[in-house]
Structures are given as structure tokens and as C-alpha cells.
Amino acid sequence: MQAESAEAIVRALSVALMNGTVYFPEHRRVAEASREAAAALDRYFESRESFVLGIVKGLLIVDGEPLYDLSVRAHRLLVVIGERGGFGARFARGITADEIMAFIKTLLQARTRSAEEFNALLARQEIAHAVLQVKPLREAPREGAAASDRAQAAIAPTPGDFEVETGESYLEVYPWALDAIHNFITNFKHDHKASLTQMTEIALRLTDVLSKDPNAFVAMASVKDYDSYTFNHSVNVCIYAMAIAECLTTDKKELVAVAQAGLLHDVGKVLIPDEVLFKPGALSDAEWQVMRRHPELGAKILMEARGVADIAISVAFGHHLRNDQRGYPALGAQITVDPLTQLVNVIDVYEALTAKRPYKKPFTPERAAEVLLRGAGSEFNPLCVDLFFRCLGIFPPGTPVRLADGSEGVVAMANPSDAAHPVVHVTREAGGGALEQPAIVDTAERLPDGGYRLEIAGSVAALQAQAQAGAPA
């Protein structure tokens, strides 16, 4: 419960900051997120006096526990706090939504790199319940030795940390990719010029990480977040597309082109009005007409920019052209769509289904796989669906799963010849206790009688949904 509300607090603060950057600090979206942060803090303060968001080497620490996934999602927030000289932030009981909004505004607008000066700025505005951490977490007396020890231990690489040989972990690469898209959109909104320098750099970096460890690379896409889902979606589509392309080619130039195509496939949405793009309910017919223009708008933006691979333009234009030609833009005639565009059509739907959105729960991997299999031959090119499962499996790397014996772990590697039986990194025994020695289990291994030795019972998400519903998910 505590962890949940900590997540809600950080998430809401992060959204407030993001919207303050994309729009402006007084925007209603910042106010909304500030109210959400205040409400989440109120829940947290039912049992605590203050909430400390600590930052140790880019990793978010709350109550002495490292929060890996949230470190990625709240990357911008952590960066901006760091830029103001803070080692985190502390919020005290009694804080209001207005104070949070003013805190965010000060974070965005202050020119100082000193946390002391920043706190003085807050005091001048009579913001009494929020300060930046002036000292590193380990030196902060209130957290105590145990908490800081845990924090220090947490930053040591662990097998589950998706560390790659380059020394870059997903904690670093993924936020850079989010930043690249974020900056691209912000700059484009500002001067309507598409600058791809950072985007190309990130495509190169992603290619490097992919070549070192393809499975850890795919696991990055398990970062699902509905607060910045537009950005997350583009990065995750890019990751899946690159991982699948890597099954077919090792040509770096081609992989960079695929990365660009994935990152930029929805770039046309930058020209869709917010009222339509972020409308919480169903779109009217007229609004759909507007939304359906994003592929051609995206292709136009990319054609006018320099250094964009042709394939990225094709993907931006054609990723909603279904296999049965019933998608959009309506071209009115049979056309040949290139294979990558058809593949992104599949990935786009899969990622959207499995993403967290404000208005829906994410599909489990099993349910999303069913949708792809059902649509193969009509909505989707069947060869692309087949390729998707060969490269990523029914349970893509990074998916938490439970095995038939009750033990749990995370999928480490897909099995190209058996999509439902990947290799699993098992970390918990039946009943939930942590294994002293994590084990690698190949769920495709057969017994002499031909049966599987130890199968996957299901994804943890699907099994939890089943348990809650009391019926199969």
C-alpha cells in the first residue's frame, strides 16, 4: 500500500513537471497533476510525517528501497531536481496542491544549481512544505544508516538489472530515448522545424545496446507507463521493431533506420489538437477524421526534415494501413506496403494493447497475443505476426511469469522454435520467497515421454487477474 502511494506521488509529480515543460507551468494539466500529487501525499501522510524522494546515481529511492521502473518513468523529474543541485526532495504533511504547483514552477524556472539557493527561493514564496535534499541520501540523518545502506546496495548491478556490457543500463538508455522524443516534440511545437540530431544519436545508441544484449534490450519495453504514454509508446514500438529486425539483419545502418522509423512512426500526432489527442472518452466521427490525418502529417514532417531514412517516412505514412487495406489513409486502390511498415502495424497494436492508459488496464501478454493471432490474415500480415512471435515469443523478455511448480521469475530469452516456452530467470520459489540462488530454466525442455519438464503457468499479470476475477482471464 505504501509502495503504491509512493508510486502515485512520484508519478503525479512527474506528470506535472512533464506538462509544465510541454505546455507552461500554469497550464491546467499541471494543476490537475499537482492535485493528484497532493491527494497521493495525503494518503501517504496517514502513516508518515514526510515523504522523501531520494536520488542516488540516477536511481530513485523511497523509504530506502530502490524503485527501478519508476526511476525510468520519472527520469525527467530526477534530472531536473539534480540540475537544481538537489539529491532528492522532501515533502511534509500539510502540503497543498498550490504549493506543489509552485514547487514545479520553481523547478522549471529557477536558474540556480544550488539546492540551498533553491530552498531559499521556495521560502520566499512561502512554500513551507517542500524542499530539495541538500545532501546525498546516505548522509541525511533522518533516513538512518539502514536505509542508506540499502540504497547503496541497490545501485550495485544485479542480474535483474538488465545491465549491458557497454556499461549503459536500461536506466540510462531508455530515458535518453524518451528525452529525444520529448525534445523533438517540444522543439517542433516551438518553431515547426524538425531537428533530428538527437533522434539520430539515440538511434545509434539503441543499436549499440541491442547488439550487446538483445534480450535485455527487449526487456526495456516492459516499462509501461500511462503518464507519458505517447513517448513510452514510441520508444517501446522502436524497441520491439529493432529487436525483430535484429533477427533478420546485423547491418547497423539498417537497424538505425528501423530505430528512426519506430521512434518517429507517430510523429504526425504533434499536429493533432490536444483536445482530440488526449480526449478521455470516445472520439466523435469528426474527431476521428482529424486523428486519422496523423500518418500523412507525420510523413510530411519527415519528408521536410533532413537525414530521415526513407523507410521511416514510409512507416509514418503507412502504419495504420491494414493488411486487408481497410485502414487509413484511405488510398482507394490496392497498394504494396513495405514489410517494415506492415511489421510496425502489428507492433503498434500490440504495444497499445499492453500499455497502461488512463482509461484502461493493460492487456496481459496472453490476451494481446490472442488479438494478434486472431487478426493474422485480416488486420495483420500473417508473416509479420509469425515473425513477431518467433523473435519475441508469447511472453517477451522482461515479462514476469509463474511456472507450473509455483516458482516465479522473468522471461530472459524467447525460443524461436517454441513461442510459448521461453527461457526464464527464476528468482522466487513457490510461495513467494526469494531464491538464494536464482536459476535459469528452459521451459522448452522436454521429458523422455515428450512432455514439457516445467512449463509456464502464465504471466503473473494474467494469473493475478484470474485470481481476482475467480475465473480464467
Binding site for Fe ion (CB under 5 A): 266
What's the closest the beta carbon of residue 386 comes to Fe ion, in angstroms?
23
Pick 199 or 344: Cβ nearer Fe ion: 344
Strand partners, 132: 89
Pick 84 or 320: Cβ nearer Fe ion: 320
What's the closest the beta carbon of residue 292 comes to Fe ion, in angstroms?
9
Contact 223, 137 (CB under 8 A): no
Angle at 268 between CA 264 and CA 269, to 5 degrees: 105
Pick 244 or 267: Cβ nearer Fe ion: 267
What's the closest the beta carbon of residue 33 comes to Fe ion, in angstroms?
25
Alpha carbons 296 and 317: distance in angstroms, whole number: 5
What's the closest the beta carbon of residue 321 comes to Fe ion, in angstroms?
11
Angle at 164 between CA 385 and CA 152, to 5 degrees: 125
What's the closest the beta carbon of residue 205 comes to Fe ion, in angstroms?
24
DSSP single-letter state for residue 440? E
Alpha carbons 98 and 96: distance in angstroms, whole number: 5
Pick 143 or 266: Cβ nearer Fe ion: 266
Pick 225 or 266: Cβ nearer Fe ion: 266
Preceding omega of 362 cis (within 30 degrees of 0): no
Nearest by Cα to 75 from 174, 213, 181: 174
What's the closest the beta carbon of residue 122 comes to Fe ion, in angstroms?
41
Longest pairwise C-alpha distance within the chain: 76
Pick 266 or 351: Cβ nearer Fe ion: 266
Query: In angstroms, how far is CA 53 from the centroid of its own chain?
Result: 20
**Shortest-Cβ-distance residue relative to Fe ion:** 266
Alpha carbons 399 and 363: distance in angstroms, whole number: 13
The CA distances from residue 274 to 184, 270, 337, in Å, are 17, 9, 30
Pick 104 or 309: Cβ nearer Fe ion: 309
What's the closest the beta carbon of residue 161 comes to Fe ion, in angstroms?
32
Pick 53 or 315: Cβ nearer Fe ion: 315
DSSP single-letter state for residue 60? E
What's the closest the beta carbon of residue 294 comes to Fe ion, in angstroms?
6
Nearest by Cα to 142 from 84, 100, 66, 90: 90
